[in-house]
Amino acid sequence: MMDSNVRPASMERITTKELADAFIAEQVKEIRAQVGDKKVLLALSGGVDSSVVAALLIKAIGKQLVCVHVNHGLLRKGEPEQVVKVFRDEMDANLIYVDAVDRFLDKLAGIADPETKRKIIGKEFIEVFNDEACKLEGIDFLAQGTIYPDILESDGVKAHHNVGGLPEGMKFELVEPVKLLYKDEVRVVGEALGLPHGMVYRQPFPGPGLGVRCLGEITRDRLEALREADAILREEFDKNGLAGKVWQYFIAVPDMKSVGVKDDKRYEGWPAIIRAVNTTDAMTATIEEIPYALLHHITDRITHEVDGINRVLLDLTPKPIGTIEWE
């Protein structure tokens, strides 16, 4: 018997809408055969993989899919709203939106160590998801956005995305419709399913979100400053044709202040650090050249529009020696 976690050598790389449509039709058939009239639960983060799986399942089984979107307060500006707009408003999905911002940020208060922050965010996510899962009746399946590189990297277990720790007695069979696809194929399928381009080509975003870019102890004011500065960077990259050219670009805000001048008065604010890198495999990364005129414009906008930020710095470190994320 063939291992269902191994991509057949004969499987053609999905590069066109026609190939994507054929894949979608085949998956819809398989999902219906697997699920029947039962319900499926999905943690919908708004990332590429979970969004494509959600759209595929909605096409196959409609309201039998229950999507749970947990807003932990560490998403980028506009992302929770986009998930609700696309899935609930446009696709008529059975979507449960959980505002868990206070729950997460209260747990993270006073924690500066990056590893501890990651663990708290991961553990809390599972607990919030469990709380929601326990309220639901008659769920037999759990859908996951596992993709082929996850299987190759982890011998079939996608630990950081896998909703582990579900309560005893909640036994789910997995539904993983894109597990044999590479990331570029997932994007082609997402476009064919009608998802917005910005969602399908969303750049990689760490599981703990802005939690590892708000360096050190996360405070609400600094997190908000980070979110606003990051939105300006993304908007300017979009407008200036860099969005499709640069693999990953973001702002990090350290837990330190420097003196600045505003309205002829001295005041203390945080620096915003721009990181913009290109990579093919995330193992090594090079620095993207950003035109100086654009850097000046971004600096001007961030320092004038974002409360609490009074300097903008550019990180010029390739990987190796610096990792892509700061924490």
CA 123 to chain CA centroid, nearest Å: 17
pLDDT at residue 21 above 90?
yes
What's the whole-number mean pLDDT along residues 309-315? Answer: 97
Residues 6+ apart with CB under 8 A from 260: 266, 267, 268, 269, 303, 310, 311
Confidence tier at 158 by pLDDT (50, 70, 90): very low
Contact 41, 96 (CB under 8 A): no
When mean pLDDT is compared across 18-27, 64-73, 140-149, the lowest value belongs to 140-149
DSSP, residue by residue, 129-184: HHHHHHH--SEEEEE----HHHHHHHTT--TTTS---PPTT---EEE-TTTT--HH
* Residue of 154, 163, 96, 156 lying closest to 123 (CA atoms): 163
Please give the Cα distance from 46 to 75 (Å, whole number): 9
Cα angle 6, 162, 248 (rounded to 5 degrees) comes to 85
95: closest CA among 61, 67, 53? 67
Residue 256 · residue 271 · CB < 8 Å:
yes
Residue 4 has pLDDT above 90, yes or no: no
Q: Which residue has the higher pLDDT, 4 or 11?
A: 11
Q: Of 27-31, 106-110, 175-179, 259-263, which range is least confident?
A: 259-263
pLDDT at 157 over 80: no
Q: Please report, rounded to a whole number, the percentage of residues in the chain having pLDDT higher than 90.
A: 77
Residue 161 has pLDDT above 60, yes or no: no
Rounded distance, CA 245 to CA 223, Å?
27
**CB of 182 within 8 A of CB of 151?**
no
Strand residue runs (E) in 204-325 = 248-252, 258-262, 265-278, 286-287, 309-314
Cα separation, 92 vs 266, in Å, equals: 52
* pLDDT recorded at residue 156: 43
pLDDT band at 98 (very low <50, low <70, confident <90, very high): very high
List helix spans (H) across the chain.
17-35, 48-61, 79-83, 101-108, 114-135, 148-154, 183-192, 197-200, 220-239, 292-305
Query: In DSSP terms, which residues pair with 71 in a beta bridge?
Result: 99
Amino acid letter, 168: E
Token pair of 313 as six digits:
């710095």
pTM recorded for the entire structure = 0.88
pLDDT in tens, 192-236: 999 999 899 888 888 899 999 999 999 999 999 999 999 999 999
List the domain boundaries for the chain. Answer: 17-200, 213-314
Fold assignment, 213-314: GMP Synthetase; Chain A, domain 3 (3.30.300)
Per-residue tokens: 121: 């965010």
Q: What is the pLDDT of residue 224?
A: 98
Confidence (pLDDT) at 162: 42
> CA-to-CA distance for 75 and 137, rounded, in angstroms?
29
**179, pLDDT greater than 70:** yes
Average the pLDDT over 134-157 and give the result. Answer: 83
* Radius of gyration of the CA atoms of the chain, in A: 21
> What pLDDT does 159 receive?
41
**Could you tell me which CATH number the domain at 17-200 has?**
3.40.50.620
| Backbone conformation region of residue 135, classed left if phi is above 0, alpha if psi is from -120 to 50, else beta | alpha
| Amino acid symbol at 292 | Y
Indicate if the pLDDT at residue 44 is higher than 90.
yes
Predicted pLDDT of residue 86: 95
Q: Is 221 exposed, middle or buried (0-12, 13-18, 19+ CB in 10 A)?
A: exposed
Indicate the DSSP class of residue 316.
-
